[in-house]
Amino acid sequence: MLSCLPVLRWFSLLLSLTTVACVDTSAEGPLDSPTPLQQQLGTAAVQNILWIGAHPDDETFATPLMADLCLRQGATCHFAVITDGGAGNCQLSPQECGVNDTGGAPPGSLGALRLREQAQVASAFGGKMWAVALQDSSSNTVLGTLQRWNQMVSGVPGDQRIEQITQVVENIVTASQADVIFTFDPRHGMYCHPDHRAAAYLAVTAANRLGFDPSRVLMLESTSPYVDLAGQLTMRPWVPADPALLRYDAIAAGTRSALPATLSIYKSQFSAQAVAALAALSAESWQIPFVPVSAVLGGGGFEPATYDQICAAQVPWDGRGTCPRADGSTGPCW
């Protein structure tokens, strides 16, 4: 059974299966020639883009590319969010934030606020939100998270399967008529958050079960922001030497402004100072890295063990995550 396999070895499974302010990039110049990432998507029409994440705001570092595809090229952006984000922190006043919740985004909760922000982002992109609104941060392991989400869907306490939550994600992929799926990489989820990794596992598994073209399932490979040796806030791919990496150059494409514009909508999560700091990320950070699932299935990616090591110390998750350091080491994100 699917639920009996170690979730952290998800590649083995796949191999065995063979209003609001608009996000405006019009003032920035478009890229003249196709990038490797655009070439990866091929010549077939791209009409529907689907981001699958765990929380409202998870998509933010992919938004320059999504703005290019949806606001410039006319595709429709869809934003699927598995939880309501109701267990997180909030930058606003207690009255504005509401109370933490355990899913369902009840009135007066942080989850309800965060889903309103996600809906505003979807509207700014001319797209649609698909909110499952399950419990945020429900477990400190990936498998535990998947099982807890499945229990909320099935209504069966102690249910150890993950079939029903997988079916929910399959239904979203089908209903959105997605041509391209963006998600985290389940091996690291940017900084090892179990929710990120579980949502990505569901995205990749659902796409595989539906026979979705794996070259059009693109996993975000960025680290979380960290301070480099020059004192600059920066991001990079977790495995820079991976030959399967495809980079989207948001500076050359002229879509860099989509990131701070999106962050500014998520006022519960990002202060004005944080938005300004992230808008000033290093030039390297705007080379947004993705790996297509097809590269991993076809054996063209980097040695999987290299990715597995990223979060080895985060099983179970300690709530602090793993982030790079300027000297090349890693340490707690906070």
The span from the CA of 193 to the CA of 83, in Å, is 13
Domain containing 160 equals 2-311
Asked if residue 316 is part of any domain, the answer here is: no
Cβ distance 7 to 195 under 8 Å?
A: no
Q: Is residue 91 part of a domain?
A: yes
**320 occurs within a structural domain:** no
State the alpha helices, DSSP H only, in 177-247.
194-209
| Tokens standing for residue 319 | 């709530």
Structural contact between residues 220 and 182, judged by C-beta atoms closer than 8 angstroms? yes
CB of 95 closer than 8 Å to CB of 102: no
Residue entry with tokens 């980097």: 302
List pLDDT tens digits, range 261-316. 999 999 999 999 999 999 999 999 999 999 999 998 876 556 667 898 999 999 99
Q: Does some domain include residue 221?
A: yes
The helix-helix angle for 258-265 and 272-279 (nearest 10°) equals: 170
DSSP string, 126-143: T-EEEEEEE-TT--SSHH
In a domain, 146, yes or no: yes
Q: Tokens in use for 86?
A: 């109701």
Q: How far apart, in whole angstroms, are the C-alpha atoms of residue 268 and residue 122?
A: 16
Q: How many domains does the chain have?
A: 1
Residue-wise pLDDT for 106-138, tens only, equals 999 999 999 999 999 999 999 999 999 999 999
Residue 194 sits in a domain whose CATH number is: 3.40.50
Q: Report residues of the chain scoring pLDDT below 70.
A: 1-44, 299-304
